[in-house]
Chain A
C-alpha cells in the first residue's frame, strides 16, 4: 500500500504542491493504478524476449542537417533573457 509520505515524495520529484486535504484521494488513486499494473504483471507469458509494443522497430533518420528555429523564435516565450540566452534563477 502506498503511504502519504510516498505520495508527497512523488509530488516533490514532479515539482507539484499537494494540499493535505488531497492526500487521501491521491493515495487511493495511486493504489488503484498500482493494482492495475500488478494485474498486467501477473499475466503469464511464455516468451521472455522483449517485444515491440507497437510492432515497429528501427525507425531512423539520416544524419543530414535540417533548418531549425532562429534564436528569436527559440526565445520568444522566455520569461527572462540576456541576448541569446535564457536566464533563470541560479540553481544549487
Chain B
C-alpha cells in the first residue's frame, strides 16, 4: 500500500456532431483542405455577429441529462480572452459562471461515483501545425461546437479515469451527440493530478496535463505523474503548480515553459449574444426524445430475452445495432437467435469499429425478423436459418426467395421415422460401433438424417429415435 493517494479530475472536450459550427453556418466536416470551411464570423472579421446554433443547445442538454445533471433555466455565454494564433478573434466564446448543465455524475463498476461539476458549451480553436520553425494555421476547426465536461477531483486510479472516459464515450455516442473519435480529436482530455498522504482530506498541489487524445496515453500519463509527484514528496521536495505535456515517445511528462504566468483570461459576458433560457417543458421534451436508458435496456434484454450480459453489452455498444436488434427481435420467442445472427454472421462482415458503428447491412430488421419467425414456428431449424441468412446478406433479398415450400414444410413424424430406419439400415458400421460402446457413432447417423432433410429435421428428436431403433435391432 502506497503512502500517497492519487487525486485526479478530468476536463473532457467533446466535439458535437452538428452539421454546422456553433455561431455560423460553416460545415463542421473533418478533414477538408485548410481554410475551406470558413466565413467572416469564424475567422473573426470585424463587424460580424455570432448567432447560436439551436442544435448545440439541444445536444448539450442531452449530454447533461444522460449524465444526471441539472439543466440551467438561464444560461449565458462569456468571452475568454487570450492571444494565440489558433484564435482569430483573440477570445474564445465559452461559458464562465452560468454553464448549461451542472451537478451530474457517472457511476463506475467499483461502486464509486464520479461527480460532474459542470458541462458548458464553447467554440473550438483553429488547428496549428508547427513545422520548420513556422506555425501553419487552419481555421476549419475554429468555431466547431464543443462541450467541456468537468469532473470533481474524484479519480483515485488511472483505471477509474479510463473507465469513466469509456463510459462517457459510450453515452455520447449512444445519445447521438458526438462520435467521440479520439484519433480525430473529437474527444480530448486535460487531467488535473495531485497526490496526498493516504487518509488525508486536504488537496495537494496539482499539475495539469493538457490535451491528450488517447485512452492509453491518459492512463499512462496519470500513472507516470502519480509516481513523479510521490517521488518529489518522498525526497522532501514540493510539487509545482504548472501545466505539463505528455511525451508519447517515452511515456513521461514535462513542464511547459512559457506557461508559468498565471493565466488571466479576463472573462466577461459576451455582448454579441443573448441569454439562453431553457424552460422545464423544453427539458422534458428533450428528455422524452432520448433513447431508452442503456442500463435499463440491457436489463430488459437479459430478463425478457435471456440474452447474456456479454452479448447485451456488445449489442448496446453501437446505437444502430441496438435499435436494429430491438426491431428484429420484437415479438420473437427466440430473441437470442436474433442476437446470435447479428453478433455472429452479420458482425463477421464488418471489419472495423467504424463499420459496426455504421452497421450498413443488406438485410432489413424486418427481413431478419421474418426469417426468425419461421424458426419460432418450428418451420426451419437453426442451420437452415444460418445458410439462408448468408444468402440474404449477399443479395439483400428476403428469406422467402430462398426457402422452398418443401423447406418450410418441416419433417413429419412419419417421414422422420422412415429416414431413421433408412439411416440404421444403410450404415451398419456406425450401428456396430455404437453397440460396441462408441456412443458418438450415433452422430454420423444424425448427420445422415439432417442431410437427407436439408437440415429441416429436429436433430435431438432424430438422435433419440435412432438410438431406439438401434437398441430395438440389437
Contacts and interface: CB of A to CB of B under 8 A. Distances in A.
B136 A91 contact: no
A92 B264 CA distance: 18
Contact of B133 (A50, A53, A90): A90
B55 interface: yes
The interface size bin for chain A is 35 or more
B37 interface: yes
Nearest to A15: B83
A51 B19 CA distance: 31
- Which secondary structure dominates chain B's binding surface? loop
Report which residue of B57, B129, B134, B257 has the largest number of chain A beta carbons within 10 angstroms of its beta carbon: B134
A57 interface: yes
Interface in A55-75: 56-71, 74-75
Report which residue of B26, B33, B35 has the largest number of chain A beta carbons within 10 angstroms of its beta carbon: B35
B122 interface: no
B35 A88 contact: no
Contacts of B27: 65, 68
B36 to A, nearest CB: 5
A52 interface: yes
Interface in B20-43: 20, 24-27, 33-40, 42-43
Nearest to B33: A84
B474 to A, nearest CB: 77
B433 to A, nearest CB: 71
A13 B26 contact: no
B137 A52 contact: no
Contacts of B98: 50
B20 A85 contact: no
Given A58-B277, A88-B134, A90-B135, A50 B24 contact: no
A63 B139 CA distance: 19
A16 to B, nearest CB: 11
A56 B271 CA distance: 12
Given A13-B264, A50-B74, A63-B53, A57 B33 contact: no
30 contacts: A9-B264, A13-B83, A14-B83, A15-B83, A49-B74, A50-B74, A53-B271, A57-B277, A58-B274, A58-B276, A59-B273, A60-B53, A61-B25, A65-B19, A66-B20, A66-B26, A69-B39, A69-B40, A71-B33, A74-B35, A74-B38, A83-B34, A85-B136, A86-B136, A87-B135, A87-B137, A88-B134, A89-B135, A90-B134, A91-B128
Interface of B: 18-20, 24-27, 33-40, 42-43, 51-57, 74, 76, 81, 83-85, 98, 128-130, 133-139, 257-258, 264, 266, 269, 271, 273-277
Interface of A: 9, 13-15, 49-50, 52-54, 56-71, 74-75, 82-92
